[in-house]
Amino acid sequence: MKYFLLLVIFIGLFILSSCYRPSPKQAFADMQLFEGKWTSYEGTLFNESWLVINDSLMRGIGFSLNGTDTAFSEQLVLKRIGDTVFYGALVEGNNGFIYFWLEKAGRGHWIFKNPDHDYPNIIEYTLKNDTLLETTTSNIRGNKRINFKLKKITE
């Protein structure tokens, strides 16, 4: 009976811990773990660099290189306005930032959506641990996926 009770308590705690649903403020605070420089370690070559400005704003840059030349570059922003967290990207040739709102957040996982944008419509970030970050872009149906596997650069 004693072991059964311990098992029930363990299962209950496991279920509660896997149901982590942070507030927008906490989700943004969790994303501050992105701060630093990240580079591809596998698959599609891409780099990101993030800087925490304050408790509701982060600025970043994403880029890929072809040799020593920049093949692609975008300015990035994460910002919390009230109860909404936004991910913005400014790509060369666009008039302004394209914004995605945080639709879902959990422990180390964030999903941003903008169904009105041509592509991507969904941007997902998954923090595997302190030094591994995966980013995925896809269309609204969740296919046409492009995965970016990044590792943190320590300098």
pLDDT in tens, the chain (155 residues): 666 555 555 554 454 445 667 899 999 999 999 999 999 998 888 999 999 999 999 999 999 877 777 788 999 999 999 999 999 999 888 889 999 999 999 999 999 999 999 999 999 999 999 999 999 999 998 789 999 999 999 87
* Residues 128, 151: Cα–Cα separation, whole Å: 10
Domain 23-153: which CATH class?
Answer: mainly beta
Domain boundaries, the chain: 23-153
pLDDT in the model for residue 13? 44
How many other C-beta atoms can be found within 10 angstroms of the C-beta atom of residue 48? Answer: 21
Query: 59 with 50: CB under 8 angstroms?
Result: yes
pLDDT in the model for residue 17? 47
Long-range contacts of 14-23 (CB under 8 A, 24+ apart): 17/107, 18/107, 20/106, 20/107, 21/105, 21/106, 22/105, 22/106, 23/83
Cα dihedral 79, 152, 149, 33 in deg (nearest 10): -30
